[in-house]
């Protein structure tokens, strides 16, 4: 059977012109067969970087096969994106309760909701779908939650952001997807924005679109900028609370002081470009995990660039947390508008492969205790840092 790449079904809320190149369902391919077939892998590899998210329906994928496929995108990577079992040790990290490791294949995590029994060597696993109510500064009232209102939990890239490099791809495999009523995401930021989504959707936005829709002055800032992440960012941010859109942290000064964090070294702190270059298409993706950022460096305009109306023409090093966050929010918020979000409608057996260095994604919604959901997730700390824009890219957009 020939391979087909079929556009993903878009909800009525989505602007189809912005999704022409985003997402494909792959037909005629068993994901387990990809790693051992170099020709097939090359096709899937290139399609992944072109479309940024690939869906295989009705898949049967063992943890070993999922690990093998994830690893094929970065053969020398080995450990889980946050480090193997490291999350168990950093008990204060906000990621801790969401992850359960498959004993046989520690790079694959069991995530979901409710209690799962006798699962791949785990006698009993209590899972909890992350809820915005424990992470955001404000919350949807219980009354409104009962009516089906919810929020994005946290827009992010899968990445430790300290010591380890952001995984190239993430695979998400829906083994058990409970059916339930659709929910409505409220942005609660004064815009009135809302988005109706399937229960427990994973929401995706394209980092390429995020860059593309910026006005010229902010494109110039983005292309010249690098962000510095906090050491142990998930521990650092744990006492703080997130924005109602799930797109970053409220600046209330609640972050853990650097002196109180687990031991850290300056040399392990991550400084990444704001814009990452797609290795296959050459496209530019705005890739910032807003929650973990501490500082922002802006390079001066390159020689010969038009200085009129330019922001930070001579460069800048922003260290005021609120200023850094406000600027990033201004650049990222437009791209999570309802018309730019792809909310995946999970079915049992859906296997999704996404370009973790090209999209942002968020957990959404709320389950009750008796709604049992089981997913396998795998991503691997990459063997290299993401590539930023070339000198030519900077010249073009600065």
What are the backbone dihedrals phi and psi of residue 98, each rounded to the nearest 5 degrees, phi first?
A: -90, -10
Of the two residues 167 and 273, which places its CB atom closer to Fe ion in the complex?
Answer: 167
Q: Tokens 């997913």 sit at which residue?
A: 375
* Helix (H/G/I), strand (E/B), else coil: 149: strand
Closest C-alpha among 314, 163, 138 to residue 235: 163
Looking at 124-132, 151-159, 205-213, 381-389, which segment touches Fe ion (CB under 5 A)?
A: 151-159
Report the residue number whose CB is nearest to Fe ion. Answer: 158
* CB nearer to Fe ion: pick between 203 and 337: 203
CB nearer Fe ion, residue 72 or residue 95 = 95
Q: Considering beta carbons, is residue 214 or 335 the nearer one to Fe ion?
A: 335
Minimum Å distance from CB 47 to Fe ion? 21
Exposure letters 360-386 (e unless 16+ CB within 10 A, then b): bbbbbbbbeeebbbbbbbbbbbbeeeb
CB of residue 99 to Fe ion, shortest distance in Å: 11
CA 202 remoteness from chain centre: 10
**CA-angle at 219, arms to 190 and 325, nearest 5°:** 45
Secondary structure class of 127 (helix, strand, coil):
strand
Residue closest to 109 by CA, chosen among 80, 86, 136, 130: 80
Residue 312 or 342: which CB sits closer to Fe ion? 342
| Binding track over 225-264 against Fe ion, x by CB under 5 A | ----------------------------------------
Nearer to Fe ion, 158 or 350 (CB): 158
Nearer to Fe ion, 65 or 158 (CB): 158
- In the complex with Fe ion, which residue's Cβ is closer, 140 or 159? 159
Site for Fe ion, residues 154 to 193, rule: CB under 5 A: 158
Q: Which is nearer to Fe ion, 177 or 318 (CB)?
A: 177
Q: How far is the CB of 79 from Fe ion (least distance, A)?
A: 17
Q: Cβ 379 to Fe ion, closest distance in Å?
A: 8
The first and second tokens of residue 70, run together, are: 């994830």
Tell me how far apart the alpha carbons of residues 386 and 226 are, in angstroms, rounded to a whole number: 12
- Least Å distance between CB 157 and Fe ion? 8
Q: Is 5 in contact with 24 (CB distance < 8 Å)?
A: yes
CB 269 to Fe ion: min, Å: 22
Query: How many other C-beta atoms are found inside a 10 Å radius of the C-beta of residue 14?
Result: 19
Q: How far is the CB of 361 from Fe ion (least distance, A)?
A: 6
Q: Near Fe ion by CB under 5 A, which window of 22-30, 91-99, 153-161, 310-318? A: 153-161
CB of 156 to Fe ion, least distance (A): 6
Give strand pairing partners of 111: 375
Of the candidate spans 54-62, 92-100, 131-139, 150-158, the one that interacts with Fe ion by CB under 5 A turns out to be 150-158
Q: Which distant-in-sequence residues (6+ apart) come within 8 Å of 283 by Cβ?
A: 208, 277, 358
The SS3 call for residue 91 is coil
End-to-end Cα spacing for the chain = 47
Q: How far is the CB of 377 from Fe ion (least distance, A)?
A: 7
Q: What angle do CA 384, 70, 11 make, to 5 degrees?
A: 105
Task: Give the footprint of Fe ion on this chain (CB under 5 A).
Answer: 158
């Amino acid at each position: 059977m020939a391979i087909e790449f079929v556009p993903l079904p878009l909800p009525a809320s989505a602007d189809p012109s912005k999704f022409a190149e985003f997402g494909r369902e792959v037909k005629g391919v068993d994901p387990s067969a990809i790693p051992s077939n170099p020709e097939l892998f090359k096709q899937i590899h290139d399609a992944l970087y072109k479309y940024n998210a690939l869906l295989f329906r009705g898949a049967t994928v063992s943890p070993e096969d999922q690990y093998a496929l994830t690893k094929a995108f970065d053969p020398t990577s080995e450990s889980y994106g946050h480090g193997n079992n490291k999350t168990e040790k950093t008990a204060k990290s906000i990621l801790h309760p969401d992850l359960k490791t498959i004993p046989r294949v520690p790079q694959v995590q069991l995530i979901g909701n409710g209690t799962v029994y006798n699962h791949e060597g785990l006698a009993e696993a209590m899972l909890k779908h992350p809820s915005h109510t424990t992470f955001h500064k404000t919350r949807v009232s219980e009354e409104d939650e009962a009516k089906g209102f919810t929020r994005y939990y946290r827009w992010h890239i899968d990445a430790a952001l300290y010591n380890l490099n952001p995984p190239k791809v993430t695979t998400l495999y829906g083994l058990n997807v409970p059916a339930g009523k659709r929910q409505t995401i409220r942005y609660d930021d004064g815009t009135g924005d809302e988005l109706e989504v399937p229960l427990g959707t994973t929401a995706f936005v394209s980092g390429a679109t995020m860059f593309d829709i910026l006005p010229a002055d902010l494109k110039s800032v983005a292309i010249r900028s690098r962000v510095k992440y906090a050491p142990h960012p998930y521990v650092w941010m744990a006492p703080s609370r997130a924005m109602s859109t799930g797109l970053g942290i409220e600046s209330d000064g609640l972050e853990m002081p650097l002196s109180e964090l687990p031991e850290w070294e300056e040399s392990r702190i991550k400084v990444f470009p704001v814009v990452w270059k797609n290795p296959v298409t050459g496209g530019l993706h705005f890739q910032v995990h807003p929650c973990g950022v501490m500082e922002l460096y802006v390079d001066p305009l390159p020689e010969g660039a038009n200085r009129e109306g330019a922001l930070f023409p001579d460069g800048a090093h922003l260290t005021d947390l609120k200023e850094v966050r406000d600027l990033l929010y201004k650049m990222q918020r437009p791209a999570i508008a309802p018309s730019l979000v792809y909310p995946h409608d999970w079915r049992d057996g859906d296997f999704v492969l996404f370009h973790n260095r090209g999209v942002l994604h968020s957990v959404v919604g709320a389950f009750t205790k008796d709604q049992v959901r089981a997913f396998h997730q795998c991503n691997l700390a990459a063997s290299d840092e993401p590539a930023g824009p070339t000198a030519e890219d900077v010249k073009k957009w600065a």
